[in-house]
Amino acid sequence: METLNFKTNIKTSDDVAAVTLPLNDIEQVDGWNIDTESANKLLTVQTTDNRIADLVQRAISTAGYQAELVTG
């Protein structure tokens, strides 16, 4: 299992609801969580394939939000 982290501009429960379907539609995503209380509004994605960062970013963008992969 791999973990990917993204800085986002997802702030409220309505925002989380807006990205739920697009994220759940990504086959390689085993689970995800958004910490709306953190300064970076951190999205954590558990996956079997760490090469899906672009798919996650597109899913978030489709919902009208931004996600930047945190590396390192």
What's the pLDDT score for residue 66?
98
Mean pLDDT, range 3-9, rounded to an integer = 98
pLDDT in tens, 13-27: 999 999 999 999 999
By CB neighbour count within 10 A (0-12 exposed, 13-18 middle, 19+ buried), where does 46 fall?
middle
Which neighbouring-strand residues pair with 34? 43
What's the pLDDT score for residue 43?
98
What's the pLDDT score for residue 72?
73
- Side chain identity at 23, as an amino acid letter? L
pLDDT in tens, 26-70: 999 999 999 999 999 999 999 999 899 999 999 999 999 999 999
